């Protein structure tokens, strides 16, 4: 993998995306100039395969110095072409890298009130977000491993019930991840995470 590349200061936007095709994950961290909305730095951590690492580093290079709007248009085809082409079986590896970059940009936009289409938060939206929260017990996401027992969205309040005892060793970390993924949603005011015991 790209190694533990981290910003010394907190990133302005970040994402963790998983591939439904292979179960691999990427994390992307971005720095954005608040005036010009230019990506001043992009870091990419891959927990995926060699093709994913390669497209991730190409995308990092392509995105740096671009505005958020320009960077959003980088496609997995462009990344794969820049690498001299990937075999069809490996297309999802570059799709994953592009999804990671786009999600980090979306995270920045949410945090800075730049989101224009304001889709109301529903159970579906929350469930989608929780697909990006890892279940540390298995290395897969919470939704797929059926740890999410219940999701309720009502008047700006999101309630998530996790099927683990509250004193489980990973409970605090999972709770923090859930809050981190759902709190930035524009119409969410409160996130409550409950455990089953």
Residue 49 touches ligand FES, criterion: CB under 6 A:
yes
- Beta carbon of residue 52, minimum distance to ligand FES (angstroms, whole number): 4
- Beta carbon of residue 51, minimum distance to ligand FES (angstroms, whole number): 5
Residue 100 contacts residue 26 (beta carbons within 8 Å): yes
Catalytic residue among 16, 58, 63, 93: 93
**Known catalytic residue: 49?**
no
Catalytic residue among 1, 22, 49, 83: 22
**Known catalytic residue: 93?**
yes
Q: Which residues pair with 151 in a beta bridge?
A: 160
Residue 98 contacts residue 74 (beta carbons within 8 Å): yes
- Categorise residue 88: left if φ over 0, alpha if ψ from -120 to 50, beta otherwise: alpha
Rank residues 11 and 48 by Cβ distance to ligand FES and give the closer one: 48
Question: CA quadruple 185, 162, 132, 88: dihedral positive or negative?
Answer: negative
DSSP state of 67: B
Paired tokens of 90: 């490996």
Residue 55 touches ligand FES, criterion: CB under 6 A:
no
- Beta carbon of residue 138, minimum distance to ligand FES (angstroms, whole number): 16
Residues belonging to the active site: 22, 93
Tell me which residues touch ligand FES (CB under 6 A). 19, 22, 24, 48-49, 51-52, 93, 96
């Amino acid at each position: 993998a790209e190694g533990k590349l981290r910003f010394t200061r907190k990133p302005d936007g970040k994402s963790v995306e998983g591939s439904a095709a292979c179960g691999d994950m990427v994390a992307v961290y971005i720095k954005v100039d608040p005036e010009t909305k230019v990506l001043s730095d992009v870091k990419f951590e891959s927990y995926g395969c060699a093709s994913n690492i390669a497209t991730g580093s190409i995308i990092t290079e392509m995105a740096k110095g671009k505005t958020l709007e320009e960077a959003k248009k980088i496609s997995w085809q462009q990344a794969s072409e820049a690498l001299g082409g990937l075999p069809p079986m490996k297309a999802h590896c570059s799709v994953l890298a592009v999804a990671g970059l786009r999600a980090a940009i979306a995270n920045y936009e949410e945090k800075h009130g730049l989101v224009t289409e304001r889709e109301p938060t529903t159970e579906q939206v929350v469930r989608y977000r929780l697909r990006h929260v890892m279940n540390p017990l298995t290395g897969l996401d919470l939704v797929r491993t059926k740890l999410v027992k219940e999701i309720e969205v009502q008047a700006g309040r999101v309630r998530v019930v996790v099927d683990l005892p509250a004193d489980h060793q990973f409970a605090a970390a999972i709770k923090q991840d859930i809050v981190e993924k759902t709190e930035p949603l524009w119409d969410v005011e409160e996130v409550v995470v409950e455990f089953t015991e």
